[in-house]
Each structure stands twice: as C-alpha cells, then as structure tokens.
Structure 1
Amino acid sequence: MNYDTITYDLTDGLAVLTLNRPDKMNALNTQMRAEIAHAVRDAGTTARALVIVGSGRAFCSGQDLGDRANAGEVDLERTLKDEYEPLLRAIYDAPIPIIAAVNGAAAGAGANIALAADVVIAKESAYFMQAFSRIGLIPDAGGTYWMPRMMGFAKAMGAALFAEKLPAKDAANLGLIWECVADDEFDAAWKARAEYLAKGPTKSFASIKQAMRASLTNDLDQQLALEAKLQGECGQSRDFKEGVMSFLEKRTPDFEGR
C-alpha cells in the first residue's frame, strides 16, 4: 500500500510510523486512519517493535473537522465504528510493543491514539488534551476507557469536563504516560527505548502485554493461572534459553524474537 498521509520505515526490526500532515497538525482524516491501521497491522507481522510519532510541531491534533470525506451530515457513530475502531484495535492487538513518541500536541482522538500504545514517551513541551467537550462531544477513540484506568476516576473526569491542556510532565506524574523527557533529549530517548524493544525477547513482550491487560478484569485465581500458562510458553522459547545462557556466560543476550 502506498501512503500519502503517513511515512513508514522498517529497519533492523524497528518500524517507525510518522503521522505526516504537519500543515494540519497531523489531524486525522478518513485516509489517514486507514493508512495508520494498515501500517500497524503490517508492523505486527514484519517488525519486532513499532514507534508512532508525529511530523512537525504536533503529534496529532485529533479529528480533522474539515475532512471532505465526512462532509455533509455527520454520522459520528459510523465514523467511530468503521474507521476509529479498526485503527485502535490494530494498535491494541498488535503482537509487538508499540511506543507513542509524543513530540507535541496530542489532542482529542490524537491523545487517545497515543494512550492506546503500550508505552508513551513525551517531550516536556508536549501536552495532552481531551478537547471534546469544547465542541459538545464526549471523549472517544478509547478516551473514556484509557483515562480512568491510567490516571484515576477523579482526574479523568476533570480532564474530560474541563478540556484543559495537561502538560507532559503532569501526565507522567499522574501515571497517564511512561515518561516525559527534555525536548533536546526526546529523539535520542525514544530511539533508545525503541531499539531496546526491537532487539528484545518479542514473545516475552507479547505475553507481558496479554497478562497485564487481562489483570484489569481477572480475579487472582484467573491471573495466577494465566501467568503460569504464559510463563510455560515463554519457557519453551529460544529467547529464554538465550537469556539464561547469556546470564551464565556474563554477556549481552542476542535475542532472536522467538
């Protein structure tokens, strides 16, 4: 598939998907949503880690309110079900770790696409904003799912009702994202994290994702059973054997991702 609204690069197991509508602050239109979903699904079969980052001064400003494909009467329910849900499921269900490298404004659906990733790393100058109520809407694209789980109910409710900018440093302190880094260290920081994941035990990472997410709804017995099952599977992997050997031989492991 040829991409017009994003760029996609795969090098040494690391895929980098760049949202590439900088003149629109990487606002999401119908074409862009389809291209992101396609690229994420492709990365899930060909890469060992994926980074989603924005071009220009924004990560993603959310829905493109001027999208000609949605001109006329707006059917937001259809748009969410047919266009956003496949994109979000592609990110959430990916068998590889995904980093959202938030280089600037992450507003509306753009913020919630970032939160769908496994790890969010943001520039200190970046911010997150649930802007929906400013135009008479509710947080969508998973916002009402991610926020209460990550930052707590009270903070999530305030973020939704007041639609204020949440600086990246505050987002990190609240547990909404993994880390906030200085602007001049941002590119080096996310690249180092991404390269670590791309060279790591891919099956282990997939199992970690599965176990962590299941814990949100499992009771203790269910979670212990799942841990045992997944650990048994990981224990049969080549990467586990390599990890043990490298530890005994006091060297850096050379994981193959299987």
Structure 2
Amino acid sequence: MISEAECRDGVWASIDANGIARLEIDRPRQMNALDGPASARVIALCDEWAASPDVRVVILSGRGGSFSAGADVAGMAQDARGSGGFDEAASRAIIENGSNLVRAVRGLPMPVIAALDGAAVGIGASLAVAADLVYATSRTYFMLAFVNIGLMPDGGASALFTAAVGRARANAMALLGEKLSAADAYDAGLITAFFDDPAGLAAAVDRVAGRLARRSPRALALTKSALDRHSLSGFDEALEREISGQTELLQSPEFQSALTSFVAGR
C-alpha cells in the first residue's frame, strides 16, 4: 500500500496512518483534463482501495486550481488522427473508459469525499458528483458542456445530476450547457458545503475525513449501499444508454467539426 505520496500518469496517491486515502489529479496545463493513462491510474487505485481493509475514507481532488475540465479533447483529437478517426469500436472504447472511471468511484465501499476547487466539467463533473460528500470553494463551478460539441452527458451524469438537483435543473445543465456556480450548486443540493478559499476547504475536508475514519467501516458501507439503492437505482442503465448514445455521437459530423475547431483554438 502507498504510504508516502507518489505521482504516476498525472495522478497523486497516498494513504495515511488513519486510513485516509487521497487521490489528486495533477495535469495543470490541461486543467486536469483526463487522458487514457490518468483515467487508468484512477481506476486502478479505486479497485485496489476498494479491496483494502486499510482504507477507511477516500478523498478526491485536483491540484492547480481546477478539479477536472473533463476528457482531454486535444488528446482525443491526436489519437483520432493517429488511428484514422473515430470508428464505432474506438468511439465505444472512449466512452466505456469514462463510464468505468465513474463506476470505479461508485464501487468504493467506504465513504468518498470530493474536495473541489475550480472547474468540474464533463466527465470531471460526473467524477465529482459520484462522491458521497462533495465540498467546494466558492470559485468552483459545474458544467455539462457536451451539447456545445455535439455530444450528450456521459459518466452517469444523466442519473447523478438528476438525482441530486432534480429534473428541471438537470435539463438546463444538459440541454443548454449552463454553468452552475458553487452557491447555486449548494442551493440545489448538489454539494454538501462550500468555502471561501482552498485553505477553508482543506481544513473542513480533513475534519470530515477524520470523523469518518473513526466510524465503523461496516456501518458506513451498509449505510452508503442503502442510500445508493434508493437514489441511484437506475445508475447502471443510465450508463448503458449514455454509452450507446455517445458511441453514435462521437462519429457524427457535428462532433468532428467541433473537435477540429477546439484543437485549432476556435
């Protein structure tokens, strides 16, 4: 198990003596957008920690003023050029990777805390809301910007956001690509609390993690499972619908045009 913090593929990981595991995305030039290796690292860590009796709490965060700007679109474009474009198999593999990322977080039996500062966009927003407790700074915002590039929400966002904020607000975010501020996210029930600055966020998250680490792991696991069965009973079905829809949309002319414009800086 990891004792001292180590970084691989743009992801820091550590576990302290109290069983508090920390996973920090560190790709500042990409606003912590996730590419294939970073996603694989997150999945591997979650799978390892899920089976470990030494891990009592997991904290997800991002370094450098962003949580995660979503998928690494520039990297996707480069991969597409190298492989001759997005065919059905390649498109499905991309979306399944994002789904597996969020599944890995949801598969953790212990409480998961998201500590957010800055952007939580696209799959980054799904990853954040997949946590059980979500804390943020006042400059944090959420955005399901898929529609702006000819895509639809994925990573379970269609279930996670609707369960958290209700149908009307989730529709506005998904259909209009509207940004949701930390204050509005708190009012809508998407986040647990927010703080003026990163120092206040870090102190609060440390306090909550310490409390959870002292509780019965079995009681917490059973409580979490019971809550999920009620609020996210359709989560797996939502993922399958998103995978099917996104596989189609990644091959569409609208997305290909948006991808070209994005890479060109337009």
TM category (shorter chain) comes to 0.7 to 0.9
The number of residue pairs the alignment matches comes to 217
Structure 1 equivalent of residue 229 of structure 2: 214
- Does 2:92 align with 1:87? no
The residue number in structure 1 matching 2:11 is 6
> Which residue does the alignment assign to 1:155?
169
RMSD value, Cα: 1.7
Unaligned runs of at least 5 residues, structure 1 = 219-258
- Structure 2 residue aligned with 1:70: 79
**TM-aligned CA deviation for residue 217 of structure 1:** 7.4
1:201 maps to amino acid? S
SS of alignment partner, residue 58 of structure 1:
coil
Specify which of 43, 47, 56 is matched with residue 37 of structure 1. 43
| Bigger Rg, which one | 1
Which residue, 44, 48, 52 being the options, matches 2:56? 48
Please point out which of 159, 165, 168 is paired with 2:179.
Answer: 165
- 1:70 and 1:210 map into 2 onto residues whose CA distance is 38
1:217–1:150 distance in 2 versus 1, CA, 3 Å: closer
Asked if the contact 2:102/2:126 (under 8 Å) is kept, the reply is no
Instruction: Give distance in 1, aligned partners of 2:59 and 2:155.
Output: 19
Q: What is the CA distance between 1:2 and its match in structure 2?
A: 7.0
Q: TM-score, normalised by structure 2?
A: 0.77
**What TM-score do the two structures reach when normalised by structure 1?**
0.80
Q: What displacement does 1:41 show?
A: 1.8
Aligned to 1:241: none
Identity of aligned residues (%): 33
- CA drift of 1:114 comes to 0.5
Please tell me whether residue 118 in structure 1 is matched to residue 124 in structure 2: no
Q: Is the 8 A contact 2:26 2:62 kept in 1?
A: yes
> Is 1:102 paired with 2:108?
no
Secondary structure of 1:35's counterpart equals: helix
Ranges of 4+ aligned residues in structure 1 off by more than 6 Å: none
Structure 2 residue runs without a partner (length 5+): 1-5, 234-266
SS in 2 for 1:86: helix
